Amino acid sequence: MRKIISVDEIIRDIYVSPGKPAIMLAERYGYLPYMVERYIRVLGFRETTKLLEAFEKPLAPVIRTNTVLIKPEKLAERLENLGFELESITWLPYAYRVVDAPRSPSIGSTHEYLKGLYYIHRDAAALLPPVLLIDDSYEGDVLDMCAAPGGKATHLAQLLYGRGRIIANDLVLYRIRSLIGHVMRMRLDNVDVTWADARKLPSIMNKRFRRILLDAPCSGEGTIMFDPGRKTRTTIKDLALIVKREIELLDAALDMLEPGGILAYSTCSIAPEENEYVIYRLMMFRDDFEIVEPRVKLFEWSPWLTSYKGIDYTSDFKKCLRIWPHRHGMMGFTICLLRKI
The catalytic residues are 268
Q: Which whole-number Å values give the CA distances from 262 to 122, 165, 237, 253, in the listed order?
A: 26, 16, 32, 10
Q: Which whole-number Å values give the CA distances from 321 to 9, 298, 341, in the listed order?
A: 27, 11, 21
3-state secondary structure of 101: coil
Q: Please, are residues 192 and 122 in contact by the beta-carbon 8 Å criterion? A: no
User: Which one-letter DSSP state was computed for residue 98?
Assistant: E
What gap in Å lies between CA 51 and CA 302, rounded to an integer? Answer: 14
What gap in Å lies between CA 137 and CA 149, rounded to an integer? Answer: 27
Taking the CA atoms of 91, 93, 95 and 99 in sequence, report the sign of the dihedral they define: positive
- Please, which residues have CB within 8 angstroms of residue 228's CB and are 6 or more apart in sequence? 30, 55
